[in-house]
Amino acid sequence: VPDDSWTARCLRRALTAAHRGERAVRSAVVIGGYPWTDLAPEAVALAFGAYAAADGDFADSVLTAVNMGRDADTTAA
């Protein structure tokens, strides 16, 4: 992922917030007021953030991703 890309910036924000839990990750990544959820940088960052917030536990990371909402089927997949 290019270091100066939107995706990289979203990933950094998600991973920085992960230790504070799923709500912090969602707040750090989701573009407020943007109703569409089909943004790849957002979905990728939420998925990695969920994994980090769940300390790498697969089942917990899937549940965390689903609980974040937005495009939850993509994020959890």
All structural domains of the chain with their residue ranges: 6-76
Q: What is the pLDDT of residues 4-25, one digit of tens each?
A: 999 999 999 999 999 999 899 9
60: closest CA among 31, 18, 27, 28? 18
What's the whole-number mean pLDDT along residues 44-64?
94
41: closest CA among 24, 28, 55? 28
- Three-state secondary structure along 2-56? CCCCHHHHHHHHHHHHHHHCHHHHHHHHCCCCCCCCCCHHHHHHHHHHHHHHCCC
So what's the pLDDT on residue 60?
95
